[in-house]
Structure 1
């Protein structure tokens, strides 16, 4: 029984202890100690920069930090970004102290920041959910392309070459391969994708269809927005494998029946060897001395090509050498054979000067340009002479820029000799001013003969015409009087004053030869140079500057002299005086310049400081306004005199300017100091301009009305290009009819002077006259005529192929200006009715079309022709006249001259267009003229800058338009009509506005 009782006690005790223990487990603190707890070892992962297509891996550890197990349920990315992969070992029991791994792999599919959030779930009592922020940066893949530059070198157009690129893809994304760039159409790859983790050879072909240097690039990238890895593609396409040196091939000038030899070198500039199959020329006067048959020429290799020229006629001769060769197929290279020798040729423009009408005793000058139309060596100008009524004309010394070339001592007009003045080819030239100074009334004509060492044309002639009318004796007013006094001007400095000439009488004043008859040993000069003269009408005036700048201290006397049409007192003189001695008195600034001021704009007062620059006191004894050209200036600062100035002391003097008289004004202000032999000069200078109330007038041209002047070169190499122009005309004229554009067409040549070998009524020297100059066919052709195109074609044939000098800009100017443009007959030629009256229509647009295989040799600066064309239709109408040029622009074909700036510059500056004369079809180029002429003008450029639009008004036919029917475009300085308000043909447009008050700083000549 004890034993049983004892056992029962033990069991009961155990149950009691267990119960107690269980009871203890339900206490709050003890309950927590046995809960399942989950934790992760990081709340953020940063992969940093990873190239697109590569992998990086990081681990998140899920740990059991409790005392009882739990189950890991899931791990996933909340955003689902495909650039991240999350690998979880699967659901499973995690024992206390154990861990489970969550693997996060980053595989960027694009460049830039890529974020994700990893979500981990468990069934633990604590830590059921965890989020881990994940970030990474996709960066460009390190793709390799070799070589970085794939240079296909030089090959002929319409041929091809294949080279290889090696592309290495380091990632597990496929790469796309594309060709980009300006010349992408000329390159092609055989691969568009490169597989992952591979290196591939990519064949790239260059197939040029156009000429010139070409650039493109291969772009390789693993995604559409990824930064591409590139390799540059380069190639050059040429018309043929050979270039020649020299080109053209020069030959000596030789007499008829003689022979001379020359040579050129043909160099293979392409990447592959070629085989010369033979040589030929288009003129039997030229003979290859070595046939060079079946000769292989390596890349970069050159071969000598000897030739012979046998003169079969006198004068220049051009031929063509053709080199036949094999490369990818049979091809040809050509080079010009030049038996002209590039010899210096005297070019003169213009070839006639009409001085208009002057009063007897007047004088007016015109300038001619002498230039060298050759290409090899200097031309030497030797002399000039006058025939006919030469006593009424004269010439100045030749000038190269500002450099004069005196005539040979002992010669006098009408025959003047020169010391062989050189003129280089190209832009060099001499300017020769010719004067008309009639001594008696009536029409006068003379011929000016220019002599040079030009082998073929040693003399060029210029016709001089002018008319003189009788007039009454001139009555004049000349200021200042009794002399022009400069006072004292500090040595080393200069000063400017001026004189004023006015005609208060009823008879016109013919004033000429305005110059310094005594310049005081060079101390006095006219900054603008001597004046030839002009006509001063009743109650009009002119002013000019005279400067004083002595080379050494002293006292100087000079004289201004001019001639007027007053038989009793024909010579007018004005004494000039000046002193240049050291003085303690100094003016700063040394002159007071108000500059150009508008009549209605305020003139701000201006000051100068009079100071003592010596070490001892000086005394100002007096100040006064000297005699000048007007009384427009006033001293505003009163000075109590005498006044002693201590060393360094100064006093400011302020002046005003009345600005109520138009023109330039010069007044001396004199300041006297003790011991100075002459008062100090402070020049007061100003100019009053128009008050700014501007009125611009325009006449609306006829829409779809266009005058076209074809200026066609008549040199010996133009046959191909004249044929292309003729071929384009029928279709172009028909398109003009279909578009409703009314054309008036005329043709002239680039020949300015006659050439005996040309024959015909003008001997190739139309000088701007429309062809045919004898009127044997219509010269101004309307497109309404059924035979318009055929007539223009026949007139182009009339131009011929005989001349040796292109002076198209000058022939254009001659043809469009007086007397040709305004008269039915050219008074300078014996041919009747050879004027161009009736070609230009006042309301029509004008297009000048130049067709020439070399540049212009007119000599004058192209800007002078630009300004001529811009002014031709009147103020504000410059955009109604353009020049278009079909001239050499590149090397796509061989022309008589290379690309030159003169024709192209004028075309571009007038808003026209330029294209290569080598273009096969001229029709598209001519169509540009129709596009410009097909609409009425809606924009009108203003002659001055408006001071805003508040005072601007626009009237059409006198009726003011509402402001909503026009706008002012400040960028173009133009009034632009609304489409519904564009003026109709013949209507007058008036734009009134106040121009801006603008003061332009001006510094007088020293």
Structure 2
């Protein structure tokens, strides 16, 4: 900056100078010259924030004797960060000073240098330079708040907050947003005016998810270090955080229900309003509507849910929470549940023991299984209620492994030590006994207890009737004891006993067991016998084995109870010795096996030899006391007889086969100096003669009985609907084809589930045709104009409430006694709930199972195959088939995966098994009509005949000529020719002699 004097002053100063020069000597002129000096040649401003002002002074002094003028002061570099000026008038009198003001106003950061140039008109010090320096440093700008937190927002929503910026300098401040998430933030202002306080609006609008950070940068120059405030925000997909997430549900059996919940917390800054809840899988159901419910920021609401397991294994879904915030939105949380928890399954669920004499005992077995698919079920015991004193239970069995009841417990309440039952084929068998103490009808309830979470107790109805009878008169052989003689250590032998009733009254025998097993030396190979009824002039036999655990003498006892109040207990002593002996029998026993009494007996032999190193003298042989006198020694040896080492002789036996049944006799061989005789057991069984009579009933070519076994579990709604939809067309096609249908429906529910299932049966129809109360026709004829509608209504009556599929057992109950043969089920209080009249002797039978999971009846599928093959009688197996609409592949999700039980029975009986996932069941049902056509011409015989010489064939009692039928040996069947094929309902009888076993030629 230049500061100068006016023109008038310059002229005046020139005149003054000339005057002085004229008055003095030339040598004195210098002493009155103007002289200028500065007090500093360097100015350092230090650090100054950009935009602020600092001022320093350079003093220009007049050190001469005449005034001078300061002409100019300026920055030679022209840096705008510096301003230079004179303070005051330009004339500087001698001894005075002029202040040169230097102001530093940094416009950028860093070191800023300038050179100040001062000029005067002084004679001396006309020009001066001063080096000036300073450092621009960042300007601190006040921004409030230092952190602007937008909190949590849903993605694609926005929130605006304010920042206060105070500009302390006379420079405008620029505002920018920087950082990785800068795109999510914006401001409404880009410049803050000088020396002002400004309210700036900042907006957060996230387009992605996650925590986000950015900075508002405020700077006075483009290269300046900014002052900053942090911008923070979090973007979420929806307004709610769920706890727990995923929502857990208990592992439960298929068709059971369980409840759970999650808490939804509003994690956003704004209140939201829930509009409704929905799930992606109908297995999950919200239990609260939650409509128009406001949830404030940070507030939690509880969302209760229910899970109904519709299939076994993992089951997941989504709960959708519809809500309103800045716009309609949705929040979703995963639902995690697993079906297949261990569940108790029992078959059958009712036992009718029929009628017994007082004092008798009969047993029936129930099977206990785990119908779940994950984890063991633990069986904990049984209880008996009602007339439990007339019933009892045996120990539990898994195969042959026995599980004793918990010590200290007794019937009618027995505990078990948590016996595990694995899913699948694992099972426990429990034999239940009826042993009436007095005459009359008796009923009790057997309760099975397990750790099944939902159904820990299963009830089985026990019924039986008892009649009075006279005291039992019996013969028990052998007498006075069952003697095993000597059995060499390390070997064993089998004999037996025979119980015969020679009296006029029937004998009720029970609890046939070894009361003393001689320390384990004696046992019954077939196990203990529960008992039974022995009518007049009949008998039964059973084996007893002797296997001594060590050398020595052993005593035991067989014990049983008979219906003779004066002497109810019957015992038979057992005796055996195990000592080393020189005599050996090869074979060690003589077994004739089962023989028809009209077939010849092949004599059988054994060799008695001396296996010692010294001679042995055999001094006696004898038949001991056995169950009969059916065995004979053909040629008794000459005794005494010395046997040298290795020497022996043969004994040959025959068997009379005049008494039916099993026979056991001991044969003893004595040697001198051996205290007990060697035992050779003689065994045989006599059966009836070979005259055989097979009876058949000819079926019709247009009659078909159809039993629909429809699952009534909670997941069956779509499949029941498909079955009902197929029925009207199918029934009409049957009418057009001339097939007379009789149709009935039962469910797969074996036991009642009254707490969940409504109706008179509580979901446990147990094989009874529905409706069990008879309010609608139960056996529906296709002749009825409303047949299809009635059948559809009956399917509806099965319900959708049960949790256990036991279709094979309900099928067996439906078409066997007492249901199939009685108008009323004697095991239930409902009247007239039997199935009498459903099965027609002449009609074919088709069982149609419709289930979305496999069977859990427990018993081996083969037992149901054999049952179905026998329903129509001998040789009529092909007139009964089971057909199954069940899971066979993974074409749709069902309550259970494909399993072998239903399909195995279908295949083994000649029926079809197809996927329940198919949309139209009509074609599947049409195949049943095709099987109902045609009269049966071939009838398979029960045994193999010895030829056709003694074979005769009768129809309705009339013997047919041999040219009207033939015997096919390859098929073992009688086949009718042409017009001789019996008509519907006619009885066929085939008489023949069955073949005896081939007798091998006798050795010479």
Same fold (TM over 0.5): yes
Shift of 1:760: 1.8
Q: Which moved more, 1:762-771 or 1:743-752?
A: 762-771
Post-superposition shift, 1:875?
Answer: 2.7
Partner residue of 2:394 out of 393, 396, 401 = 396
1:552 alignment partner in structure 2:
550
Query: Is the counterpart of residue 908 in structure 1 residue 907 in structure 2?
Result: yes
Extract unaligned runs of 5+ from structure 2: 1-246, 252-256, 265-277, 287-301, 320-333
Cα separation, partners in 2 of 1:925 and 1:651, compared to 1, 3 Å: same
Q: Where does residue 952 of structure 1 map in the other structure?
A: 951
Match of 2:681 among 662, 680, 683: 683
Alpha carbons 2:249, 2:258 under 8 Å: kept: no
1:225-374 map, 5 Å: 251-253=249-251, 256=259, 258-259=261-262, 281-283=280-282, 285=284, 312-313=305-306, 316=309, 339=337, 341-374=339-372
Structure 1 position 826, deviation (Å): 2.0
> What is aligned with 2:604?
606
Alpha-carbon distance change, 647 to 260 in structure 1, aligned in 2, over 3 angstroms: farther
What's the CA shift string for 1:510-553, capped at 9, x where partnerless? 00000011111111110000000000000011011111111111
Further displaced range: 387-396 or 819-828: 819-828
The SS at the match of 1:769 is: coil
Distance in 2 of aligned mates of 1:811 and 1:646? 69
Secondary structure at the residue paired with 2:896? Answer: coil
Q: Deviations over 1:548-597 (max 9, x none)?
A: 11111111111111000001110111111111111001010001111111
- Aligned mates of 1:260, 1:945 — CA distance in 2: 75
Contact 1:317 1:339 in 2 (8 A): no
Structure 2: how far apart are the matches of 1:310 and 1:894? 27
Residue 256 of structure 1 aligns to a residue in which SS? Answer: strand
State the secondary structure of the residue aligned to 1:758: coil
Matches within 5 A, 1:457-606: 457-606=455-604
Structure-2 separation of matches of 1:656 and 1:257: 77
Preserved CA contact (<8 Å) 1:739 1:934: no
Question: C-alpha separation between the residues in 1 aligned to 2:983 and 2:336?
Answer: 55
C-alpha distance in structure 1 between counterparts of 2:304 and 2:373, whole Å: 21
CA–CA separation in structure 1 for the residues paired with 2:787 and 2:704: 14
Aligned length: 705
Q: 1:800 to 1:945 in 2, by over 3 A?
A: same
Instruction: Describe the SS at the equivalent of 2:907.
Output: helix
Within 2, Cα distance between the matches of 1:800 and 1:1000?
A: 62
The one of 615, 623, 626 equivalent to 2:624 is 626
After superposition, the Cα gap between the structure-2 partners of 1:310 and 1:864, relative to the gap in structure 1 and judged at 3 Å, is: farther
Asked if the contact 1:286–1:310 (Cα under 8 Å) also holds between the matched residues in 2, the reply is: no
**Conservation of the 8 A alpha-carbon contact between 1:285 and 1:311:** no
The match for 2:898 is 899
Which residue, out of 678, 695, 698, partners 1:697?
695
What is the match of residue 142 of structure 1?
Answer: none
The alpha carbon displacement at 1:251 in A equals 4.5
- Classify 1:578/1:443 alpha carbon distance in 2 versus 1 (closer, same or farther; 3 Å): same
- Secondary structure at the residue paired with 2:723? helix
State the distance in 1 between where 2:248 and 2:847 align. Answer: 34
1:928 paired with 2:927, answer: yes
8 Å Cα contact 1:704/1:936 also seen in 2: no
C-alpha deviations, 1:863-901, integer Å up to 9, x for none?
221222222222332222211111111122221111111
Residue 928 of structure 1 aligns to a residue in which SS?
A: helix
Q: How much does 1:362 deviate?
A: 0.2
* Deviations, residues 361-415 of structure 1 (Å, cap 9, x unaligned): 0000011111111111111111111111110000111111111110010000111
Report SS of the residue matched to 1:976.
strand
State the partner residue of 2:53: none
Q: What's 1:235 paired with?
A: none
CA–CA separation in structure 2 for the residues paired with 1:848 and 1:868: 13
Whether the aligned pair in 1 keeps the contact of 2:341 and 2:374 (CA below 8 Å) is yes
Decide whether aligned partners of structure 1 residues 892 and 669 sit closer, same or farther in structure 2, where only a CA change above 3 A counts.
same
Call closer, same or farther: CA 1:314–1:753 in 2, change over 3 Å.
farther
Q: Deviations over 1:794-839 (max 9, x none)?
A: 1111112221111111111111222222222222222222221221
Distance 1:834 1:533 in 2: 32
Quote the residue 1:789 is aligned against.
788
Length-normalised TM-score, structure 1: 0.68
Closer, same or farther: CA 284–316 of 1 in aligned 2, 3 Å: closer
Question: Separation in 1 of the partners of 2:403 and 2:587?
Answer: 38
Residues 250, 499 of structure 1: CA spacing in aligned structure 2 closer, same or farther, 3 A cutoff?
farther
Q: Over residues 413-451 of structure 1, what are the superposed CA-to-partner deviations in whole Å (9 max), with x where a residue is unaligned?
A: 111111011111111111111100000000011111111
- Residues 1:668 and 2:666 are matched in the alignment: yes
> For residues 141-290 of structure 1, what are the structure 2 equivalents within 5 Å?
251-253=249-251, 256=259, 258-259=261-262, 281-283=280-282, 285=284
Q: Is the 8 A contact 2:284 2:307 kept in 1?
A: no
Match of 1:873 in 2: 872
**Corresponding position of 2:964:** 965
Q: How far apart are 1:908 and its partner, in Å?
A: 1.6
- SS of the equivalent of 1:375 reads coil
Please, which runs of 5 or more residues in structure 1 have no aligned partner?
1-248, 262-278, 288-308, 324-335, 1002-1006
Deviation at 1:920? Answer: 2.0
What SS does the corresponding residue of 1:522 show, helix, strand or coil? coil
Query: Which deviations, in whole Å up to 9, do the C-alpha atoms of 1:616-669 show, x marking residues without a partner?
Result: 000000011111111111111231110000111111111111122221111111
Q: Which of 656, 667, 672 is 2:654 aligned to?
A: 656
Instruction: Give the C-alpha shift of residue 928 in structure 1.
Output: 2.0
| Counterpart for residue 998 of structure 1 | 997
1:690: Cα distance to partner? 1.9
Report deviation, 1:487. 0.6
SS at match of 1:258: strand
RMSD between aligned alpha carbons?
Answer: 2.4
CA contact (8 A) 2:748 2:805 kept: yes
- Equivalent residue number for residue 851 of structure 1: 850
Alpha-carbon distance, 1:338 to partner: 7.6
Matches of 1:421 and 1:283, distance apart in 2:
36
Does the residue aligned with 2:766 lie in a helix, a strand or coil?
coil
Equivalent-residue separation in structure 2 for 1:484 and 1:834 (angstroms): 52
- Secondary structure class of the residue paired with 2:356: strand
**What does the per-residue CA deviation read over 1:742-796, in whole Å, with 9 as the maximum and x for residues that have no partner?**
1110001111122222212222111111111121211100011011111111111
- Report the Cα distance in structure 2 between the residues aligned to 1:460 and 1:971, rounded to whole angstroms: 50
Shift of 1:681: 0.6
Whole-Å Cα distance in 2 between the matches of residues 652 and 909 of structure 1? Answer: 50
Give the match for residue 432 of structure 1.
430
Inter-CA distance 621–604: structure 2 relative to 1 (3 Å threshold): same
Matching residue of 2:25:
none
Cα pair 1:251 1:340 within 8 Å, conserved = yes
SS in 2 for 1:946: coil
Query: Per the alignment, do residues 659 and 311 of structure 1 end up closer, same or farther by CA in structure 2, a change over 3 Å counting?
Result: farther
What SS does structure 1 have at the residue aligned with 2:795? helix
Note closer, same or farther for the CA distance 1:337–1:535 as it changes in structure 2 (3 Å cut). farther
CA contact (8 A) 1:520 1:558 kept: yes
1:917-939 Cα offsets, whole Å, 9 max, x none, are 12222222212221221112222
Aligned counterparts of 2:336 and 2:951: Cα–Cα separation in 1: 62
DSSP-derived class of the 1:865 partner: helix
Q: Partner of 2:526: helix, strand, or coil?
A: coil
Q: Is the 8 A contact 1:250 1:340 kept in 2?
A: no
Shift of 1:703: 3.0
Q: 1:733: Cα distance to partner?
A: 1.1
Question: SS where residue 638 of structure 1 aligns?
Answer: coil
Measure the CA separation in 1 of the matches of 2:283 and 2:360. 60
Q: Secondary structure at the match of 1:627?
A: coil
